[in-house]
Amino acid sequence: MNMQDKRVAFMATDGFEEVELTSPWEALQEEDVTCHLVAPVENKGESIRSWQHTDWGKDFAVDMPLSQANPKDYHMLVLPGGVLNPDKLRMEKDAIDFIRSFFKADKPVAAICHGAQTLIEAKVLKDRVMTSYPSIQTDLKNAGANWHDREVVIDRNLISSRSPRDLEAFNAEVLNKVAEAVPESAE
């Protein structure tokens, strides 16, 4: 399967760090990977607002409402950070179920910065090796993760990075994992 047949879901809501979505998105699109912004909104085309360093950023149109998103349609899940975004997503049962389905199917999941906080709520971190923004390392350790301060960490199908300064390494590993990903068999 070539990269043109690959589909990646980016799950976010208001307050996601803009560059943590746009940078991997652009890297994937350069390889002809189809990317969808999945969010807990009512309708396709509704917008969510990014956070850009210290203030609100641009609005981004949602490709797929979370309630209509089927994890089987995607080869990989990317979770951008931002402080507000994961804090809101972890309170959404559908978001947590969406994340868990990728782990259950052993599909790649990539989380950067604070994006890893949603993985705590999904209860998928026991005995996982990972990194994140340093301020949430204690939370991740308490959830069972083995935390390391590295630009990117790969543990089976989980990719994690610390912050926007690590995007080059993060994007490279996202591209590697999506190239290896196989579709979930239709049931």
Positions annotated as catalytic residues are 113-114
Eight-state DSSP code of residue 118: H
Residue indicated by tokens 């402080």: 83
Give the integer Cα–Cα distance in Å for 163 and 73: 28
Name 157's Cβ contacts closer than 8 Å, sequence gap at least 6: 103, 106, 107, 108, 109, 177
Task: Give the three-class secondary structure for 145.
Answer: coil
CB of 80 closer than 8 Å to CB of 112: yes
